[in-house]
Structure 1
């Protein structure tokens, strides 16, 4: 068997285009897998993408969190991962379901109410690798235990996607790049939102007057 050259071994794993789409997952190309560069990258491992699909169906579509809470979880996870790809894609999704940019920005800080509870839960999973008992009880009382399970699963799911797209420098999908160029909302940077300067530098649209936001 011919071995690939060192140059080929170190080449980036670019998203697969239609001409090179693997025959064993040909039925998936016109579904979710063909619509995003993250999954076109995962298609380089067809068996993984095939196995991923039913979990994605639950985490993205059928979870007990509902669309709003789910987006809050993903935004916080993207912030903690420092994944530009996941952050920008979920800024777009959050806007599409009615989030204001102020609410999105708040998820890289210390939001109030249930948004803050969700942010603390995601942080606990990153920092402690578990939900402490008191936090789990508070979260279960607020959103239900099945939703807590799905919150944990969502963080794991999007962490895996984040690792993949950051490892292979997966490019933004064209529509997202166009939207975020027109309406920028800067990607997350670790510990960026612990100060007013952090908010100005990392969490606000380019050129935007943030004085009002900082006063709120």
Structure 2
């Protein structure tokens, strides 16, 4: 895709979310809040706070935040389902929910796996885009079926279970649930994309007009935090 990225699907621009729960102000930083900041291993987070608005908002409720972070670490890093399938799930549900924050970061994670911008754009079309393998189409169809009907059809389950073991199937379904839950929280609390970050829209165009770039998950490379939040 050399001349920009085509717009696909129906997802519009991100909502202009009102900030209802703001990042925790410094005068309220307790040790419990600092543990939230430092959970993912960002340099200097204990002293200076997290660079991610998600953690700074969650730090308003440290017991909830730490429980969520331990769960999120399993889903994001320790998950037994294949990484490719997880990004299909996450990006498809972000598309359904118009979750700009989730879409922005997981586009970079998908690029890091070797997914092309054309393939990411096709996630907005869904399982019938025409370019997916039977397995990839089944992963996307699983998301759509659960999103629309809270059920997975026998045909979709048969395709998935022919390739994935029980743990992978369980992780795949709970990955979907994780990002629905997170998307609800981001929208309800009004969590914003971090200041200075070049946001990636649902049309895969950035605010600056540059093509989206690879991003790394926590701990994946030594300077992952700089890569995450650079503009």
Superposition TM-score, scaled by structure 1 size: 0.73
- Give secondary structure in 2 for the equivalent of 1:32: coil
Q: Distance in 1 between matches of 2:205 and 2:68?
A: 34
Post-superposition CA distance 1:54-106 (Å, at most 9, x none):
21121111111132221111001101111111111111222233221111111
Check conservation: 2:39, 2:69, Cα contact below 8 A: no
Superposition TM-score, scaled by structure 2 size: 0.68
Q: Given the alignment, which residue of 125, 129, 132 partners 2:146?
A: 125
Q: Distance in 2 between matches of 1:118 and 1:174?
A: 34
Partner residue in 2 for 1:135: 156
What displacement does 1:31 show?
A: 2.8
- Give secondary structure in 2 for the equivalent of 1:205: coil
What displacement does 1:154 show?
A: 0.7
Partner residue in 1 for 2:38: 30
Partner residue in 2 for 1:168: 189
1:66 and 2:82 equivalent? yes
Partner residue in 1 for 2:7: none
- Give secondary structure in 1 for the equivalent of 2:23: coil
Check conservation: 2:91, 2:107, Cα contact below 8 A: yes
- Give secondary structure in 1 for the equivalent of 2:162: helix
Equivalences for residues 1-216 of structure 1 within 5 A: 12-32=20-40, 34-109=50-125, 110-111=128-129, 112-113=132-133, 114-174=135-195, 177-178=197-198, 180=199, 184=200, 186-187=201-202, 203=203, 205=205
Check conservation: 1:22, 1:43, Cα contact below 8 A: no
Give the gaps of 5 or more residues in structure 1: 1-9, 188-202, 209-216
Root-mean-square deviation (Å) = 2.5
Give the gaps of 5 or more residues in structure 2: 1-17, 42-49, 211-231
Structure number with bigger Rg: 1
What displacement does 1:147 show?
A: 1.5
Check conservation: 1:22, 1:46, Cα contact below 8 A: no
Bigger fraction of residues in helix: 1
Q: Distance in 2 between matches of 1:12 and 1:134?
A: 42
Moved over 6 A (4+): none
